[in-house]
Structures are given as structure tokens and as C-alpha cells.
């Protein structure tokens, strides 16, 4: 079983109409929500799924190296 890992990333959040858009850099993962907190939580889940998928596809090391 793989060991859990932690990575740090920068989050930029801005408002577009009724939604807040959250962008995790340099991973280039985005999500949105109707509040700042909702956007942050949605982004956190999107990053988690992105990293788990990359790990399953055995490309996580390559992605993190590029980031």
C-alpha cells in the first residue's frame, strides 16, 4: 500500500459572476463554488483526486517533477 504524501501548492481564487473559481498552481487544477469556502473545499477534493489518479496511472513522479 502506498504511503500518504503531502504537497504544498499555491491557490488563487477569484470571482466570476455568482461563482468563486479556485486554481491550484502549479498543478493547474481548478474547481468552483458559490462561496469562498465551497470553492476551497471543491479544489481540495479535485487536487486529491488528481493526485490519486496520477499515482494510479504511475505518472505522479513525472507530474511533480514538472511542477
What share of the chain has pLDDT > 70, as a percent?
93
**Over residues 12-34, mean pLDDT:** 97
- Whether 23 shows a pLDDT value over 90: the answer reads yes
Q: C-alpha dihedral over 15, 16, 18, 23, to 10 degrees?
A: -60
This prediction has a pTM of 0.84
DSSP H helices in the chain: 36-56, 60-66
Q: Mean pLDDT for the chain?
A: 91
Strand partners, 25: 10
Length of the chain: 67
Amino acid at each position: 500500500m502506498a504511503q500518504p504524501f503531502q504537497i504544498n501548492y499555491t491557490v488563487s481564487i477569484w470571482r466570476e459572476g455568482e461563482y468563486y473559481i479556485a486554481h491550484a498552481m502549479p498543478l493547474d487544477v481548478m474547481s468552483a463554488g458559490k462561496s469562498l469556502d465551497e470553492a476551497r473545499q471543491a479544489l481540495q477534493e479535485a487536487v486529491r483526486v488528481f493526485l490519486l489518479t496520477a499515482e494510479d496511472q504511475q505518472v505522479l513522479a513525472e507530474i511533480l517533477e514538472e511542477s
